[in-house]
């Protein structure tokens, strides 16, 4: 969930290449279509930065598979974090975009890496100031374990056991100006 | 018979046009003829002044001792120690005490206190107007009889020109000069800092130079009209220097003094709202600084003084506009002037500097001090003109610490102060 | 894609003025304001960003509007708010400003929003307190959040600041709003003209990099933004100009004068408006007026400023 653009350092171990990412996203899209017969009631809300690109790609696949233009939004979590005032660097805030009413809808949070779960908690906190969706689900490209809160993903691209001091780097074409990749830095 | 010989120093005695490396002797508190010393060597105190300047004790004619009434800021005792530490053997104190020094009994009180407590010579000024209120004349004749060497309303300025005219005429009769803090209250209003670029930028009420120049002009007119000496205190503005220069060229009895902060700093210093840069008159622009330096160089401004204005820490540590004006100066003035006038800007040589601190004030106030003539009181200042030192507020003798010069590196300082033949301070 | 803001790291615990801020820092505040403006469009207009923090509105000089704006901004960030006005404070009992502030800090006030009649008062406190100090107006010196919301409003309506001709009209000499505006407009590349009586708009201001004019009719046709300052006619000003009606005649934005303006010229005012004095009533409510947008934007700007300054760890 780093928000900086990045290039692979030399100590990195590649985990997923562009094809693997494409397949994972396509599979997630399928799962979303299968589990949500009423696609028009679904909202995909990406967490900046890479969650946004990810949700756009999921929407393209869903349009192919389910023939529906799914509703999209953006959830910025910076102002909902639970560690404001404890960090020496203030997280950058951006405007969120959830302009549609949320009653009765299924909101799927989209993020690239699921780790401690705190970002998702902040996202749910943000969502609550917009409205009250009927249900909230979570799609993550990579689940690397080490949850600090009782949060789990509904749709996962890849389960990746890691040790806490390792870093996961995700590179997406548009966001990072490079080909898709996921790698681990030891 | 106590005898001291100061050896190998460069004796600079402008009153007697002396500048030579020679020994100087004092006997029983007076300057003595070296050849008249007959004591065996064992009874003579020797002071080695090699590399030092031996000057007549320096005189500061503008000092606020704050006693009576404000002894939390300074007392006659602590102010005298500060003077000694600055190389001064005689200081002239201002009358804006509480009560104001506008009666002979106040002057007597100060005299007695000084005799008891002060390690340097203290001379008094008396108020021009009762209670410094600018409305009625104070009993100037009685004040002179009580021993004041000048009259001034310093801190305040008489706005009624007619009253000031009468004061100057009266002072002429009793033979003391009038010293004036030149400030036109209407032009200045609630001005806090020099009216110029910085006051405009920062939104602080300005104290226009015209507010000083207007009163300098007033004083020149009255000096001419009454044929008596008026001395302009702490001159700060280029226009004031011009007017004084022109008047002196015509023979008018007008003079001006400069304080070190007005040439060491400009109004640029106020931008952090540090109240150690708040004084009256305020720090002005570089052009004003340059004019002051030129005025010192060509003799237009003939006296150097500190306007030593102590204030307690808690009084200065408030919002800028609430803070009292002024900084302490006795312990930094000589160092600043040596460093800036003699070394850095090379506007005058050290002989002239000493003259401005001895002959000139003595002439203005008709003092016997300021010379090393045989028979004169042995008030002597030893100066190391090359010593490099750093101002350390924590070491000040003054009770107050309101100075912007902490940490400044200066070249030149007094190293020993002798009053009546006794060393009252040494480095 | 979102523009990366990661080259800029906010590291000031205080907002004392705009003179010492870089153009990048000012831009950063404006961009952060975008995010907080969005909060005002949500159903629940509240985020937990300053939860658990205490903000004290310390208004030694009274003001309802600015104080309310800061209070609302703080509440929307989930901070706890205390309002202190001078009459109620111990300042009237002779306690120094420094002691009053230290007492507040001892009560764990994290953010102090200060409005004071003395220029430099926020500086004075900021250097002595660990709390964040936000200047809500100090004497005639600065009013940074007002200028930031002015800037934000201009950018919102005209898309940019650089190259615009901004005209500020009124009592500039005694105006902290004018000074803060001058500093940030120049930094961001606008062209600034000050208009008003020569006694209240002295030529000295030209040294700051602006143009000074005393003839409003000459300037208005070329303006992209006209920012009208409230004209006060207190005792102190009587020596500076002869009265309200003369001011209005010479400098008021009357209906007639407003016709000189370009159709897309914005009309701004920091409020409260003196209808019929510096601005004609109809013009204040007219199509070119963005005065109410300024108020809305003021809330977002203050949320951004409180978030940035109050969110930094002070350990």
Instruction: Please give, rounded to a whole number of angstroms, the shortest distance from the CA of C65 to a CA of chain A.
Output: 25
How many angstroms separate the CA of residue A175 from the nearest CA in chain C? 7
pLDDT (tens digit per residue) in A10-61? 678 889 999 999 999 999 999 999 999 999 999 999 999 899 999 999 999 9
Whether A and B touch (3+ CB pairs < 8 Å), yes or no: no
| B281 compared with A82, residue with greater pLDDT | B281
Q: What is the pLDDT of residues B110-145, one digit of tens each?
A: 999 999 999 999 999 999 999 999 999 999 999 999
Q: A148: which DSSP letter?
A: S
Neighbour-count burial of B105, counting CB atoms closer than 10 A to its CB (0-12 exposed, 13-18 middle, 19+ buried): exposed
Task: Please list, residue by residue across C81-108, b when 16 or more beta carbons sit within 10 angstroms of its beta carbon and e when fewer do.
Answer: beebbbeebebeeeebbbebbeebbeee
pLDDT digit string, tens, across residues B178-219: 999 999 999 999 999 999 999 999 999 999 999 999 999 999
Asked if the peptide bond before residue C54 counts as cis, ω within 30 degrees of 0, the response is: no
Q: Does the distance separating the beta carbons of A125 and C48 come in below 8 Å?
A: yes
Sign (positive or negative) of CA dihedral B139, B140, B142, B148: positive
How far C301 CA sits from the closest chain B CA (Å)? 23
Look at residue A2 in the predicted model and tell me its pLDDT: 46
- Measured distance CA(B102)–CA(B127) in Å, rounded: 5
Interface touch C311/A90, C-beta < 8 Å: yes
Q: Do A78 and C311 touch (CB under 8 A)?
A: no
Q: Give yes or no for residue C135 having a pLDDT over 80.
A: yes
Kindly determine whether residue B203 and residue C205, on different chains, have CB atoms separated by under 8 Å. no
Q: Is B80 helix (H, G, I), strand (E, B) or coil?
A: helix
Predicted TM-score of the model (pTM) = 0.90
pLDDT in tens, B280-306: 999 999 999 999 999 999 999 999 999
CB pairs under 8 A between B and C: 58
Chain position carrying tokens 């494409």: A22
CA atoms within 13 A on the CB side of A80: 24
Per CB-CB distance under 8 Å, the chain C contacts of A174 are 1
Interface of A with C (CB under 8 A): 3-5, 48-49, 52-53, 76, 78-82, 84-90, 92-97, 125-126, 128-131, 174-175
* Chain B contact partners (≥3 CB pairs within 8 A): C
* Edge-to-edge order in the sheet of strand A71-74: A71-74, A42-46, A106-114, A135-143, A155-159
Pairwise CB contact (< 8 Å): A3 & C6? yes
**Is the CB of C24 inside 8 Å of chain A's CB atoms?**
no
* Number of other residues whose CB lies within 10 A of the CB of residue C256: 10
Question: For residue C298, which of C33, C6, C19 has the smallest C-alpha distance?
Answer: C33
Structure tokens at C209: 């990099």
pLDDT in tens, C49-106: 999 899 999 998 888 899 999 999 999 999 999 998 876 566 666 678 888 888 888 8
The β-bridge relationship of strands A71-74 and A135-143 is: unpaired
Contact A85 C308 (CB under 8 A): no
C-alpha distances in Å from residue C311, one per residue of A85, A89, C5, C45, C147: 5, 9, 17, 19, 22
Give the nearest chain C residue to B323 (CA atoms).
C118
CB pairs under 8 A between A and C: 86
Residue C29 pLDDT exceeds 90: yes
ipTM: 0.92
By the 10 Å C-beta count (0-12 exposed, 13-18 middle, 19+ buried), B152 is classed as buried
User: What does each C-alpha distance from A135 to A132, B264, C43, C259 come to in angstroms?
Assistant: 8, 73, 18, 56
Residue C141 in contact with partner chain A when CB distance is under 8 A:
no
Strands A181-185, A167-171: pairing is: antiparallel
| pLDDT confidence tier of residue A1, bands split at 50, 70 and 90 | very low
Quote the pLDDT of residue C34. Answer: 95
Which helix (H) or strand (E) is B18 found in, with range? Answer: strand B18-21
As a whole number, mean pLDDT of residues C14-35 equals 96
CB B86 within 8 A of CB B120: no
Low pLDDT (below 50) residues in chain B: none
Please tell me the predicted confidence (pLDDT) of residue C170: 95
Backbone φ and ψ of B316, nearest 5°:
-85, -20
Written as one string, the DSSP assignment of B186-251 is: HHHTT--EETTHHHHHHTPPEE-THHHHHHHHHHHHHHHHHT--EEE-S---HHHHHHHHHHHHTT
Q: Please judge whether C1 and A88 are an interchain contact, meaning their C-beta atoms are less than 8 angstroms apart.
A: no
CB contact under 8 A, C119 and B201: no
Max distance between CA atoms of chain B, in angstroms, equals: 70
DSSP class of residue C230?
P
CA nearest neighbour of B323 among B333, B334, B311, B335 = B311
Say how far apart CA C252 and CA A171 lie, in whole Å.
59
Give residue for tokens 């004068």: C257
Check: CB of residue C178 under 8 Å from CB of residue C197.
no
Considering only CB atoms, which chain C residues are within 8 Å of B200? 173, 202, 204-205, 207-208
Q: Write phi, then psi, for A112 (nearest 5 degrees).
A: -80, -45
- In chain C, the percentage of residues whose pLDDT exceeds 90 is 76
Given the residues B154, B307, B339, B379, select the one marked as catalytic.
B307
Note if B45 is an active site residue. no
Binary contact (C119, B321; C-beta < 8 A): yes
Residues of chain C with C-beta less than 8 angstroms from the C-beta of A127: none
pLDDT tens per residue, range A86-114: 766 778 888 999 989 999 999 999 999 99
pLDDT at B72: 96
B313 to chain C: which residues are within 8 Å by CB?
none
Interval C130-140 mean pLDDT? 95
Specify the pairing of strand B206-207 against strand B193-194: parallel
C4 and A5 in contact by Cβ < 8 A? yes
- Nearest residue on chain C to A76, alpha-carbon basis: C35
Predicted confidence at residue B172, as pLDDT, reads 98
State the distance between the two ends of chain B, measured CA to CA, in whole angstroms. Answer: 26
Instruction: Give the orientation angle of helix B286-297 with respect to helix B238-249, to 10 degrees.
Output: 30
The beta strands (E) that lie in C141-287 are given as 165-169, 191-195, 211-213, 225-228, 266-268
**Contacting residues of C for B272, CB less than 8 Å apart:** 120, 123
- CA angle, C312 as apex, C311 and C315 as ends, to 5°? 130
* Nearest chain A alpha carbon to C2: A49
Structure tokens at C304: 């951004």
Distance from CA of residue B115 to its chain's centroid? 21
Q: How far apart are CA B209 and CA A121, in angstroms?
A: 64
């Amino acid at each position: 969930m780093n928000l900086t653009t990045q290039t692979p350092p030399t100590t990195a171990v590649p985990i997923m290449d562009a094809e693997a990412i494409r397949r994972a996203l396509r599979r997630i899209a399928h799962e979303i279509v299968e589990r949500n017969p009423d696609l028009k009631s679904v909202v995909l809300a990406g967490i900046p930065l890479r969650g946004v690109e990810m949700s756009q790609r999921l929407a393209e696949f869903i349009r192919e598979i389910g023939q529906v233009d799914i509703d999209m939004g953006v959830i910025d979590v910076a102002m909902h974090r639970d560690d404001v005032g404890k960090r020496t660097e203030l997280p950058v805030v951006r405007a969120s975009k959830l302009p549609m009413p949320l009653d009765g809808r299924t909101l799927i949070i989209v993020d690239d890496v699921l780790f401690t779960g705190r970002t998702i908690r902040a996202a749910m906190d943000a969502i609550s100031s917009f409205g009250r969706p009927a249900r909230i689900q979570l799609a993550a490209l990579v689940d690397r374990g080490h949850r600090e809160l009782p949060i789990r993903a509904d749709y996962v691209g890849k389960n990746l056991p890691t040790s806490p001091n390792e870093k996961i780097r995700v590179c997406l074409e548009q966001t990072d100006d490079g080909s898709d990749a996921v790698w681990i830095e030891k | 018979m106590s005898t001291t010989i100061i050896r190998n120093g460069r004796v600079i005695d402008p009153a007697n046009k002396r500048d030579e490396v020679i020994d100087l002797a004092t006997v029983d508190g007076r300057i003595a003829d070296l050849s008249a010393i007959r004591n065996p060597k064992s009874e003579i105190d020797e002071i080695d002044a090699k590399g030092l300047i031996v000057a007549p004790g320096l005189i500061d004619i503008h000092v606020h001792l704050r006693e009576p009434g404000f002894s939390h800021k300074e007392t006659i005792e602590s102010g005298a120690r500060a003077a000694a530490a600055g190389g001064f053997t005689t200081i002239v104190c201002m009358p804006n005490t509480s009560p104001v020094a506008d009666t002979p009994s106040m002057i007597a009180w100060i005299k007695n206190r000084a005799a008891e407590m002060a390690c340097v010579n203290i001379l008094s000024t008396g108020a021009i107007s009762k209670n410094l209120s600018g409305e009625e004349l104070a009993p100037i004749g009685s004040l002179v009889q009580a021993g004041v060497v000048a009259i001034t309303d310093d801190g305040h300025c008489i706005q009624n020109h007619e009253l000031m005219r009468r004061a100057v005429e009266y002072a002429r009769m009793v033979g003391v000069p009038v010293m004036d803090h030149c400030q036109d209250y209407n032009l200045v209003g609630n001005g806090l800092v020099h009216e110029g670029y910085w006051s405009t930028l920062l939104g602080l009420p300005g104290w226009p130079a015209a507010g000083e120049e207007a009163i300098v002009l007033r004083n020149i007119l009255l000096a001419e009209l009454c044929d008596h000496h008026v001395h302009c205190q702490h001159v700060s503005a280029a226009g004031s220097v011009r007017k004084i220069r022109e008047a002196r060229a015509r023979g008018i009895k007008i003079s001006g003094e400069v304080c070190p902060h007005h040439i060491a700093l400009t109004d640029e210093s106020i931008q952090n709202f540090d109240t150690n840069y708040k004084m009256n008159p305020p720090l002005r622009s570089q052009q004003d600084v340059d004019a002051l330096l030129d005025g010192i160089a060509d003799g237009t401004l003939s006296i150097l003084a500190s306007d030593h204005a102590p204030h307690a820490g808690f009084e200065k540590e408030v919002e800028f506009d609430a803070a009292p004006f002024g900084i302490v100066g006795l312990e930094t003035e000589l160092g600043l002037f040596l460093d800036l006038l003699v070394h850095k800007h090379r506007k005058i040589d050290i002989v002239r500097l000493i003259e401005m601190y001895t002959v000139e004030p003595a002439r203005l106030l008709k003092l016997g001090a300021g010379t090393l003539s045989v028979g004169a009181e042995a008030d002597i200042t030893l100066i190391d003109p090359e010593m490099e030192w750093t101002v350390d507020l924590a070491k000040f003798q003054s009770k107050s610490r309101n100075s912007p010069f902490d940490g400044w590196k200066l070249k030149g300082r007094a190293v020993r102060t002798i009053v009546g033949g006794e060393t009252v301070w040494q480095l | 894609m979102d523009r990366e803001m990661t080259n800029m790291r906010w590291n000031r615990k205080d907002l004392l003025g705009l003179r010492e801020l870089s153009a990048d820092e000012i831009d950063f505040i404006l961009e952060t304001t975008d995010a907080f403006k969005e909060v005002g469009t949500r159903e629940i207009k509240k985020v937990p960003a300053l939860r658990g923090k205490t903000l004290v509105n310390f208004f030694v000089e009274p003001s309802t509007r600015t104080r309310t704006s800061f209070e609302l901004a703080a509440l929307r960030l989930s901070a706890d708010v205390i309002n202190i006005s001078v009459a109620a404070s111990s300042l009237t009992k002779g306690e120094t400003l420094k002691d009053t502030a230290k007492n507040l800090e001892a009560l764990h006030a994290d953010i102090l929003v200060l409005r004071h009649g003395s220029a430099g008062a926020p500086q004075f406190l900021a250097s002595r307190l660990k709390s964040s100090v936000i200047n809500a107006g100090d004497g005639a010196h600065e009013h940074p959040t007002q200028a930031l919301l002015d800037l934000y409003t201009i950018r919102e309506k005209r898309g940019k600041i650089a190259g615009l001709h901004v005209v500020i009209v009124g009592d500039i000499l005694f105006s902290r709003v004018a000074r803060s505006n001058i500093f940030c407009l120049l930094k961001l590349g606008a062209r600034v003209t000050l208009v008003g009586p020569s006694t209240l708009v002295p030529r000295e201001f030209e040294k700051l990099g602006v143009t000074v004019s005393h003839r409003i009719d000459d300037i208005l046709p070329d303006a992209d933004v006209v920012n009208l300052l409230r004209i006060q006619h207190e005792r102190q000003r009587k020596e500076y100009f002869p009265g309200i009606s003369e001011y209005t005649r010479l400098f008021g934005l009357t209906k007639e004068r407003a016709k000189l303006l370009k159709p897309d010229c914005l009309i701004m005012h920091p409020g409260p408006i003196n209808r019929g004095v510096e601005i004609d009533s109809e013009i204040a409510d007219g199509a070119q007026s963005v005065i109410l947008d300024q108020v809305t934007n003021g809330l977002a700007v203050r949320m951004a400023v409180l978030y940035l300054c109050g969110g930094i760890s002070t350990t």
